[in-house]
Amino acid sequence: MDDLRSTLMRMLSGRTVDTSAQLQRALLARINQRPADDPLREILGAMLAGGQREAQKSQPDPQMLLRAARDALKVLQQRNSALAAALGGCAECWGTQADCPQCKGLGRPGWVTPDPAVFETWVSPAVRAMAQSTSDNQPDRGANDPSGDAHAIHQGATVS
């Protein structure tokens, strides 16, 4: 496992003391692996090096980090709830837990009627993009193309 990944895993497990400095060192090492002529290498390297100097001056407030994590979790929970409403699924387990107090493991998408307004906000744009992508990939079949006639017949259209 590379240094960056192992540092992140230690941070997530709570087994590291000086997480900020370790993470910055691991990121700096990863950035330095980029080609020398890569402009991102210089920019990100300078930012991280400056961040290391700042980190040495003042360590982050653990309470501030905890608040930021809670805020991020709240945003993710709100998005999960919105997506569950849009798809008619259980926001607690998405139908993956038989002991779920909300759905008893039945809450996969379509478990309840999706909320039309939330569906329009979150799902319809993706459906439109998929339809556009599919239609963009369809070959243009002219009137003299027999495969076009077969396609039309397969779709239930009559060919004259």
Three-state SS across the chain? CCHHHHHHHHHHHCCCCCHHHHHHHHHHHHHCCCCCCCHHHHHHHHHHHHHHHHHHHCCCCHHHHHHHHHHHHHHHHHHHHHHHHHHCCCCCCCCCCCCCCCCCCCCCCCCCCCCHHHHHHHCHHHHHHHHHHHHHCCCCCCCCCHHHHHHHHHCCCCCC
Greater model confidence, 139 or 68: 68
Break the chain into its structural domains and give their ranges. Answer: 3-60, 77-136
Residues 32-79 pLDDT 10s: 777 777 666 677 677 766 655 554 555 677 888 888 889 999 999 999
Question: What is the percentage of the chain residues whose pLDDT exceeds 70?
Answer: 60
**According to the model, what pLDDT value does residue 107 have?**
96
Q: What angle do CA 27, 32, 36 make, to 5 degrees?
A: 150
Q: Is the pLDDT of residue 82 over 70?
A: yes
**According to the model, what pLDDT value does residue 136 have?**
76
Residues 85-116 pLDDT 10s: 999 999 999 999 999 999 999 999 999 999 99
The pLDDT-based confidence of 22 (bands split at 50, 70, 90) is: low
Mean pLDDT confidence for 6-16: 62
